Amino acid sequence: MEVFVANWHNLTIEETLRQLSSNRHGLTDEEARHRLKKYGRNELLEKEGIPWPIVLLRQFASPLIYILLTAAAIELFYMGKPTDAGVIFFSSNSQRSYWFLSRAKSRKAIGGFKSA
């Protein structure tokens, strides 16, 4: 039973059941044991996470960030415009910080799925 249907979302219930070799009453115990043996348990695989300091530092591994930070330094030290430098620094880092916090929140939520 290998199912490779390109438009699976367009199948009717009957077509789906036929593709999955099932019926409206579900699998027999014997078929369920066979599929468990063949495909394994339906579990999320545990993947070693990347430490948060590395994730945070990777946010700054971008040529655009280097250009913006250089522009902020030029504004501050050479042109004497701390307000402009602050705006550039804040705008370039606020999006990165938001993304980092969102990712941390998502990882925490996924951890909740695993423990459920």
pLDDT over threshold 60, residue 15: yes
Q: Is the pTM value of this prediction over 0.85? A: no
Region 15-32: mean pLDDT is 87
Eight-class DSSP state of 4? -
- Domain spans of the chain, in order of start: 8-39, 52-115
In this predicted structure, what is the pLDDT of residue 42?
A: 81
Average pLDDT of every residue of the chain = 83
In this predicted structure, what is the pLDDT of residue 9?
A: 82
Distance from C-alpha of 3 to C-alpha of 21, rounded to nearest angstrom: 10
Portion of the chain with pLDDT greater than 70, in percent: 88
Please count the helices (runs of H) and the strands (runs of E) in the chain. 5, 0
In this predicted structure, what is the pLDDT of residue 3?
A: 55
Q: How confident is residue 4, by pLDDT bands cut at 50, 70 and 90?
A: low
Q: How confident is residue 37, by pLDDT bands cut at 50, 70 and 90?
A: very high
Region 99-114: mean pLDDT is 78
pLDDT over threshold 90, residue 96: no
Contacts of 18 (CB under 8 A, 6+ apart): none
